[in-house]
C-alpha cells in the first residue's frame, strides 16, 4: 500500500523526533551527534512553515513513518529561490518507496511556492540510499566536500546534489521576491 503524503501536524512531532533520533544515533546522513528533543524539533518544523515551505509526512495505516521538508538554503536574499531538502523514513520502513514519494511531493510543493533550485546536502559519501534516491529524481552531483564531519569515530564527506524546480533558471522568478 502506498503511503499517504500529507502536510505535517503538531501531533506528528513525537514521531518525527523518534524517526530522526534513530538516524542521528545510528546513521551518518545527519551530522548531528545528539538527537534533538521534541521541543527543538517542533521549533525547527515551525521555522520551515514560517518560511512558507512544506513539511510533509508519509503515513501508513494512520502512523507517521517518514517526513520530508525543505527550508531556505542560505539566509542571504539572493538565495531566496533556492531550498535545501531533508528526508527521513522510519528505520523499519526503508525500501518501500516512501522517501521517493515524499521527495516527489516535496519538489512539487516547493516549485508551487516559487523555489527554482533544490539542493541536497547529503551526509556521508557512502550514503548510497540517499544519493541513489536523489539521482533517480533528477538531481545531479555538483560537489564533494571531503572529511567535513566527524561522527561514529570516522571522517565523513558531504555530497552536494542539485535539481532545477519548475522553470529553473529559464526565466526570471516572479514569486518569493
Predicted confidence (pLDDT) per residue in 61-96, tens digit: 999 999 999 999 999 999 999 999 999 999 888 777
Strands 82-89 and 117-123: parallel
Please tell me the least confidently modeled range out of 117-126, 141-150, 167-176. Answer: 167-176
102-117 pLDDT, tens digit each: 999 999 999 999 999 9
Q: What is the CATH number of the domain that holds 63?
A: 3.40.630.30
Residue-wise pLDDT for 153-165, tens only, equals 999 999 999 999 9
In a domain? residue 75: yes
| Residue 1 confidence (pLDDT) | 72
Q: What is the pLDDT of residue 175?
A: 56
* Number of structural domains found in the chain: 1
Residue 173, in any domain of the structure: no
Give the sign of the dihedral formed by CA 113, CA 159, CA 56, CA 30: negative
Q: How confident is the model at residue 177 (pLDDT cuts 50, 70, 90)?
A: very low
Within a domain: 172? no
* Segment 12-17 mean pLDDT: 98
- Which pLDDT belongs to residue 46? 98
Burial class (CB in 10 A: 0-12, 13-18, 19+), 129: middle
Give bridge partners of residue 141 from the DSSP assignment: 161
pTM, two decimals, is 0.95
Could you list the residue range(s) of the whole structural domain that residue 124 is in?
4-164
Amino acid at each position: 500500500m502506498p503511503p499517504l503524503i500529507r502536510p505535517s501536524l503538531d501531533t506528528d512531532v513525537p514521531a518525527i523526533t523518534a524517526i530522526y533520533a534513530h538516524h542521528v544515533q545510528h546513521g551518518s546522513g545527519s551530522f548531528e551527534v545528539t538527537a534533538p528533543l521534541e521541543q527543538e524539533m517542533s521549533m525547527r518544523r515551525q521555522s520551515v512553515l514560517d518560511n512558507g515551505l512544506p513539511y510533509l509526512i508519509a503515513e501508513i495505516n494512520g502512523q507517521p513513518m517518514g517526513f520530508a521538508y525543505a527550508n531556505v538554503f542560505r539566509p542571504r536574499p539572493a538565495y531566496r529561490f533556492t531550498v535545501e531538502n531533508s528526508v527521513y523514513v522510519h528505520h523499519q520502513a526503508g525500501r518501500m518507496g516512501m522517501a521517493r514519494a515524499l521527495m516527489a511531493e516535496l519538489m512539487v510543493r516547493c516549485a508551487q511556492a516559487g523555489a527554482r533550485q533544490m539542493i541536497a546536502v547529503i551526509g556521508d559519501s557512502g550514503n548510497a540510499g540517499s544519493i541513489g534516491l536523489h539521482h533517480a529524481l533528477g538531481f545531479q552531483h555538483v560537489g564533494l566536500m571531503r572529511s567535513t564531519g566527524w561522527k561514529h569515530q570516522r571522517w565523513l564527506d558531504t555530497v552536494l546534489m542539485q535539481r532545477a524546480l519548475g522553470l529553473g533558471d529559464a526565466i526570471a522568478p516572479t514569486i518569493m521576491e
